[in-house]
Structure 1
Amino acid sequence: MRIILTFSVFIYCSFAAVAQSGSISGQVSSEGKPLPAVNLILQGTSLTVKTDSTGNYVFSKLASGTYKVQASAVGFRKMLKSLVLKEGEQVQLNFDLSNLQQDLNEVVVTGTLKEVKRLESPVPVEVYTPAFFRKNPTPSIFEALQNVNGVRPQLNCNICNTGDIHINGLEGPYTMILIDGMPIVSSLSSVYGLSGIPNSLVEQIEIVKGPASSLYGSEAVGGLINIITKKPQNAALFSADIFATSYQELNTDLGFKFKAGKNIDVLTGLNYFKYGNPVDHNHDNFTDVTLQDRISVFQKWNFKRKQDRIFTLGGRYVYEDRWGGEMQWNKSYRGGDQVYGESIYTNRWEVIGNYQLPVAEKLFLAFSYNEHNQDSRYGTTSYIAEQKIGFAQLTWDKQIGKHDLLFGAAMRYTYYGDNTPATTGMNQDLKKNTWLPGIFVQDELTLAPKHKLLAGFRYDYNSVHGNIFTPRFAYKWSINENNILRLNAGTGFRVVNIFTEDHAALTGAREVKVTHELKPEKTYNINLNFLKKMYAENGTFFGIETSAFYTYFNNRIIGDFDSNPDEIVYDNLDGYAVSKGFSANMDLSLHNGLKIIFGGTYQDVATYEHGVKKQQILTEKFSGNWAVSYKIRPLKLSVDYTGNIYSPMRLPLLSDSDPRKEYSPTWSIQNIQLSFAGFKNIEVYGGIKNLLNWTPNRGNPFIIARANDPFDKHPEVDNPYNLTFDPTYVYGPNQNIRGFLGFRLTIK
């Protein structure tokens, strides 16, 4: 009897113990995707588990008590969570490592012309992924850059809506645009090049602010925008991103890949944008938004070679037909003086490549060639231009002890011709072939584990302007892994090419004049950058990056709009110019799915001539950008609120009697988007752009001067201010509030 009683008690206690044991289980994910093979440790015990292929894990048969669970994975910082487990309780404990991904360890190439982790680069490089730009979908990279701090797409024409990219207040000709490191887009076609790159092919966009002429040569004065395309082997099998707006804009972006043999991967991208709905909400009988019909095709070939040597080859073709003008205009009026219109035909093709030589040393031959043809009519004024650019560069990457050396030799050929005063008279040499051979050397020296020094020097010989020298210096101090200080200094240069598709020079009644032989510009720059990161154990991340910059210009080429309202006079400044300021980027990510990105830039861009300081036209003192995102994970729904704000900028008036405001108001464009990812392989998104319904005609009697007489045939009729036709008073987009709806399909 005693034996039976003892056995019964043992069985009861065993069942009670089982009944009272608890468990901790859950899923580990990042950016909404489950993470397999993540290590989870129950601190204070010897228990360790890994997540399965669906990101799930479980700790079972746990007694009641307080536990700390740590999740760790390659490429992520560790995350620790605490909980109290009651008797018999099954607790669900999920980990979202999105905020702890080592995103600052991305590989970048733009700052030093070689692959390096972003945190290790002595040159500060900003990196933006497609996920950042999807917060506010746009039909082109040109428009997408409005969300980047210190970078502003500037519209230069109220009617045809073409423009350029400003970096820290410096205009488009001072910014070099590259695709995969190749300088295929120059001042002639910065806006057209950025408008024709299929977004489906973009891996990331790298931005360097400040002169980089010691590596990239002419035009890399204000900064660099390097568009890195995807590697074919890493791209999706097929992708589509299609959206439309209530303005009846349609943007289609397609990407697909295939194999052309055993060792060849091919990636193809297609972008088509169509807007053919003329609107005139401000009732001046001119189109508010330029009508466009654009197609771009890009193809990239990747060849597998022995010892994983690199060989890629890419090509792109862009065609665009855009026009704006009086609402009754059609192509039969092109170039005539009956109905005013601005019509631009653009044809552009380019080839780029990178080939690693079959030798033991790391020798790379990069090359590109492009041709750009433009046929434009601005009323009765024609602008017919052709530009050809060939580029080849051989680099040798060599490691010797603590010295990481880069040697290079480059050759750049440019032909530019147009039918404007830019290439006639004293500047007719600019119409001929221009050769720009150069050599450069760069040494990145590791002084100590926390200290790096970079020194570079470039020599170029321009067939028109002669010898050009551009040294460079950079220093990086890694105080610790979360605090980094960088100091960069150097020079930049820009050869003469005023590029008179400056629309103020081609529209209205102003006459273009070039009074002296133009000399090349030269700049001296210094930039101080500080990066700080802070991580919390619960997954919260806070990062801030600040920069102070100063650029001094000699021989600055400017257009004088003020001396004579009937003329634009291009000349080298009889004095100097300065661009200086301060910028800050802040990134806050909370473990509950809220993410805030904010950037602000204060800049002072001015010319100094005969003791008089003058603020640069169409340049704001302060700008800000933000993106607030929140993920509602149970509903698979994301909310994105984006926007920008700009302080007043000086605008081009025709005379003292011009009733339009001399300075723009403070203005802001704000947008909101909802994205749903609950379907397999499909994401649906939609929202509203320009929530404040802001347009630049607010507070002004008119935007286009003499819109009722665009050919100035009747200057004495209804002209109380004695003005001539002028559409150059523009500083922001003229589109009202509008909705958009689209979807993304990805097949891997």
Structure 2
Amino acid sequence: MKAYITIILLFYTSLLIAGDKINIKGHITSGKEHIPFATISVNDGAFGTSADDHGHFLLSLEKGKSYQILVSAVGYQPQELNFTAKNNQQEIHFNLTKDLLQLNEVVVSSNRREQSRKETAAVVNVVSQEIFVASSSKVVADGLNFVSGARVENTCGNCGAASLRLNGLEGPYTQILMDSRPMFSGLVSVYGLEQIPVSMVDQIEVVRGGGSVLFGANAIGGTVNIITKAPQFNSYEVGTNMGTIDGKSNDYNAYFNTSVISKNDKTGAYIYGSYRHRDAWNANPNDIWYKVDDDGNAYGDPLKDDFSELPRLKTASIGTKIYHSFNDQNKLTADLRYIHEDRRGGNKLNEAPEKTDITEWIDMGIASGSVNYDWFSKDKKTHINAYSSLQYVHRDSYYGANQAQDGYGLTTGTTYVGGAQINQNFGKMFNADSYFVAGTEYIYDNIFDKKLGYNDRNDGQYVPDAPVSNQESQTVAVFAQNEWKGKKLSVLIGARMDYVMIRDNENPDNNKEVPSFNPRVNLKYNITPDMQLRGGFATGFRAPQMFSEDLHIEVAGGQAVRTVLDPDLKPETSLSYNLAWDYETQIGSVQTYFLLEGFHTRIKDRFDNQYQYLDDGTLINYKRNSTSDAIVQGINAELKVAPSEKLNFQGAYTIQTAEYEEENGWGDEETSTSKYILRTPNQYGSLTLNYKPAQKWTTSLTGVYTGSMHVPLLPGGFINGQPVENESLIETETFFDMGMKVSYLTRLSKNANIQFGAGVKNIFNQMQDQFVSGADRDAAFVYGPITPRMYFIEIKIGNLLN
């Protein structure tokens, strides 16, 4: 019996010894400063922890076992250590080097899985918090100008709609994502870039060129992935920004955000909110215009211009993102957000819209929510993600001129996205690390738009609730890709199959079923550890469906409009090629990075809108395919230099051509043709410079250069009191929009810092030479910088300001 008990005791003692856990303390520094809230990952993410606000952490490890421990923190180069747990007296010390150029951000947009930006097969640009801060950005649109190959423009002098062009291609050719989901429907995309506050954004990832393999339609020019903030540690921040153009036109913004994490790090919530009020601004209040009769003749006394070039904005947003980790293998994330915007441009802004000479007004609410579930295998080599997102949009509007009583409209939109994907690490395959991604996705989108009434042109009868569009689209997609990462060569091959079903409940002749297959190939070759060569090929497509910008144009006259699709209308398709070389090096303490990228995109079967009136006065928008391809090609260049922690610089420049194969019509006259893709400069670029002359002081310099481009001017309105009678193509001047900011940071209390800032945007007041006045003006005749010279001050309070 004693022998039996002895054997049992020895057995259990051996188990206890084999599984004996010891606590290992550690701390993380950079020089003499401790780094708070760094992430500690053990054995390629098998488990881990986070450092506290003083840079210390605790790991529970098995005695005698060896581990790979990776430490990473925002703004620092990651560091890995092989460690064997021996006893409780051991302590681990990591001394991180600052990543002054932020080249090692974790991104997801290249391959739909988290990886270091330096390791991606495709070039990924990141708009970070540093750029938002340096440029005093309020909304997403403000920060996107600082990406090579990207340019944000104002497309309407009345409503101020902002559009993003990637590699010279118009806004509809860019796929905009929220947390990797295509929630930017056609209805939201027209104004969406100005509706998302940077207070809810962690970073923006930009992939230029065709990306339809992973993210579906519209990614012809590229993909912009807006990554929203997630709870990481206990923090808070409140702030306000006040800017003024002339003492009368002011722009006021206030925001807050807070993040709360449970003690066991299993549950967290991030809550944010913001409010913005911008007054309308008139660029040419001293110009005169006249009323015009039905024959186009001016009459009456001259009138002073009172039409806005920047609309009045009132935008409020609130939202939250919550996560709960059940264990190391299961995590559930949910988010809710609501955005409301009241936007109005034109004249007589304090009167009812139907009493004005022209008004473009929207009152828009966007409610959305999503649920995201992640499962990881114990060895972290398998990751399954399932997601479901829903968005509802309600938009009241008025688009009308000359006291039109029938300019009111109502638009609603519903978007649903659901899907699942698997990420599998197969380990070594063909002497390279193999990573596989596959998934399926379902997208439902509905746009219902109606006029609340219009007067029939034939008999003058009032027609209530005239539908403009009631279109549904459903997309079912499957995608798969595999990446082989070798020491020298990495190869990525993938494809996506989309089947798009379009139903027009107002005009069944517009019903379409469109299959689209799009492959992708990317190669990455490591010439040296710090020098890479990347090349890629991808196709893309855009389905023939209603877009919100179509609605925006069509209802402008307060009349009945019907969109008709050519029975033989095919989807737009694209072929994209790119080749990029980048080099990262450190000379002494100077960190440098240089990128040179060539790109070529051809778009076939472009959508072409033709307008004509029927006998009953109805305006028909006839959408067909053009026989002339569009070709955009050029070179993007980037340079980043950081001589020290006190000084860093980054610049981007693009040289390109954007033309049609044949002359393309752009106006009503047969002679109004051009080979140029209009509103597209052949040269543009940006720069940012940050300098810290003292520990608490920071100065920032930003600049956006826009080269000359061709912009159409249509008849209507007055310039310098003279009527615009003929359509013409204007070659614009060049612009350099420079801004400057100075900020001071100091401690307010033990858990609070306060930062004061002041500066000026568009220092040299670079604006277009001439503006059009009058109710019949061409509202699309806007170009160059969006905002004139503006002085601003800002205040921020938070526990993590630095």
**TM-score grouping bracket, smaller chain normalisation:** 0.7 to 0.9
Cα displacement (A) at 1:687: 0.3
Name the structure 2 match of 1:599: 652
Change over 3 Å in CA distance of 1:498–1:669 after alignment to 2: farther
Name the structure 2 match of 1:45: none
Deviations 1:610-634 (A, max 9, x none): 7996111111111010112211125
Name the structure 2 match of 1:704: 772
**Native 8 Å contact 1:478 1:485 kept in 2:** yes
Name the structure 1 match of 2:410: 384
Match for 2:494 among 446, 456, 461? 456
Name the structure 2 match of 1:535: 586
Name the structure 2 match of 1:643: 703
Cα displacement (A) at 1:659: 8.4
Change over 3 Å in CA distance of 1:603–1:33 after alignment to 2: farther
Cα displacement (A) at 1:466: 2.8
Change over 3 Å in CA distance of 1:591–1:352 after alignment to 2: same
1:688 aligns with 2:714: no
Change over 3 Å in CA distance of 1:37–1:115 after alignment to 2: closer
- Which shows bigger deviation, 493-502 or 213-222? 493-502
CA distance in 1, matches of 2:396, 2:412: 9
Q: Which has the higher strand share?
A: 2
Cα displacement (A) at 1:504: 4.8
Cα displacement (A) at 1:261: 10
Match for 1:274 among 277, 299, 310? 277
Paired residue type of 2:410: I
Deviations 1:136-177 (A, max 9, x none): 112211122122222122211101111221111111211122
Paired residue type of 1:151: A
**Native 8 Å contact 1:318 1:348 kept in 2:** yes
Query: What is the count of residue pairs matched by the alignment?
Result: 637
Cα displacement (A) at 1:728: 1.6
- Which shows bigger deviation, 212-221 or 185-194? 185-194
Cα displacement (A) at 1:34: 5.8
Cα displacement (A) at 1:430: 7.8
Deviations 1:185-207 (A, max 9, x none): 13321253333334233222111
Deviations 1:400-433 (A, max 9, x none): 233211111111111123248xxxxxxx998343
1:672 aligns with 2:740: yes
Name the structure 1 match of 2:350: 330
Q: How does 1:54-69 map to 2 (within 5 A)?
A: none
**Native 8 Å contact 1:156 1:504 kept in 2:** no
Change over 3 Å in CA distance of 1:171–1:329 after alignment to 2: same
Paired residue type of 2:473: T
CA distance in 2, matches of 1:196, 1:725: 26
TM-score (norm 2): 0.73
Name the structure 2 match of 1:207: 206
1:416 aligns with 2:447: yes
Paired residue type of 1:674: V
The 3-state SS of whatever aligns with 1:133 is helix
The 3-state SS of whatever aligns with 1:644 is strand
**Native 8 Å contact 2:134 2:700 kept in 1:** yes
1:547 aligns with 2:578: no
The 3-state SS of whatever aligns with 1:104 is coil
**Native 8 Å contact 2:231 2:322 kept in 1:** yes
Q: How does 1:288-307 map to 2 (within 5 A)?
A: 288-307=309-328
CA distance in 2, matches of 1:561, 1:642: 42
Deviations 1:283-315 (A, max 9, x none): 321123211111011210111211243321111
**Native 8 Å contact 1:142 1:191 kept in 2:** no
Deviations 1:601-652 (A, max 9, x none): 1122222237996111111111010112211125x21111111111112112
**Native 8 Å contact 1:197 1:298 kept in 2:** no
TM-score (norm 1): 0.79
**Native 8 Å contact 1:348 1:370 kept in 2:** yes
Unaligned runs of 5+ in 2: 1-28, 39-52, 56-70, 80-94, 287-304, 452-466, 502-511, 613-618, 665-672, 716-723
Match for 1:320 among 338, 341, 364? 341
CA distance in 2, matches of 1:194, 1:543: 29
Cα displacement (A) at 1:131: 1.2
Q: How does 1:248-263 map to 2 (within 5 A)?
A: 248-258=250-260, 263=266
Deviations 1:48-69 (A, max 9, x none): xxxxx999xxxxxxxxxxxxxx
The 3-state SS of whatever aligns with 1:396 is strand
Paired residue type of 2:746: G
Cα displacement (A) at 1:553: 1.0
CA distance in 2, matches of 1:607, 1:498: 24
Change over 3 Å in CA distance of 1:278–1:534 after alignment to 2: closer
Cα displacement (A) at 1:113: 0.5
The 3-state SS of whatever aligns with 1:123 is coil
Deviations 1:666-698 (A, max 9, x none): 1121110001113341111110111011222x2
**Native 8 Å contact 2:166 2:221 kept in 1:** yes
Change over 3 Å in CA distance of 1:110–1:338 after alignment to 2: closer
**Native 8 Å contact 1:251 1:271 kept in 2:** yes
Deviations 1:64-121 (A, max 9, x none): xxxxxxxx9995499xxxxxxxxxxxxxxxxx98764583222111110011111111
**Native 8 Å contact 1:329 1:339 kept in 2:** no
Match for 1:557 among 607, 623, 642? 607
Name the structure 1 match of 2:687: 626
Deviations 1:492-513 (A, max 9, x none): 1111235253555444699887
1:397 aligns with 2:423: yes
Name the structure 1 match of 2:106: 107
The 3-state SS of whatever aligns with 2:778 is coil
Cα displacement (A) at 1:731: 1.4
Name the structure 1 match of 2:232: 233
Paired residue type of 2:626: L
Change over 3 Å in CA distance of 1:384–1:399 after alignment to 2: same
CA distance in 1, matches of 2:478, 2:321: 28
The 3-state SS of whatever aligns with 1:478 is strand
The 3-state SS of whatever aligns with 1:181 is coil
Match for 1:439 among 469, 473, 478? 478
CA distance in 2, matches of 1:293, 1:33: 43
**Native 8 Å contact 2:185 2:445 kept in 1:** no
> What fraction of aligned residue pairs are identical, expressed as a percent?
25
Change over 3 Å in CA distance of 1:399–1:338 after alignment to 2: closer
Name the structure 2 match of 1:720: none
